[in-house]
Structure 1
Amino acid sequence: MKKDFQAGRLTTDDIIVIKEWVEQVETYGPDSLRQVWGRGDRMNPDVLNRELRIVNLWNDHDLDGHLKGCRSSSFSRLGRIIYKVVDNKIQIIEILKVTPDHKY
């Protein structure tokens, strides 16, 4: 990540959000990335307010093709964390920015 930051591929804001992603995984486990949250919730599914708009905060989803078995989480409009879960632990494959045609 440091190399990507130095090369200008990641911004300071990207790094902050990626650290939030890591903190969430460490605190709540990888399944929390698929959780939907109400606006105003702070990573607490027990307080999910059904009256608020519910979102998948990280737009986390399975990948297919050459990345089948991996998942993708969005850390910005174009930023993605490509990872897989092995023994309930995250293995980060790549942190990248997607192209306009959404190729990884």
Structure 2
Amino acid sequence: MSQTEHSHAFFSNRDCKYFPCHKNANPEQFNCLFCYCPLYALGRNCGGNFKFTEKGIKDCSDCLLPHSAGGYKYVTGKFKDIVEQVKKNEAQAD
């Protein structure tokens, strides 16, 4: 498939003052589509390269999964898991 056919799955914001926002990222292949990763809500089950800070905050600064060539497919493939996590959170809140 051509680049145009996949234009919905890749976006680089080279004008962003943080571009690329992850160290060791290849600017030529860096996808900004998921600037905020929707997988963050999955916690330990996101599948990315993360760690927790001493204060328990999820630190994704070493993760390039959503910014990689296969990131769009991976993230959209996890939407069902995100919906299930939201349902679980809502049930606990009731």
TM-score w.r.t. structure 2 length?
0.28
Computing the radius of gyration from Cα coordinates, the structure with the larger value is: 2
RCO higher in 1 or 2 (8 Å CA, sep ≥ 6)?
2
Flag the structure with higher strand content.
1
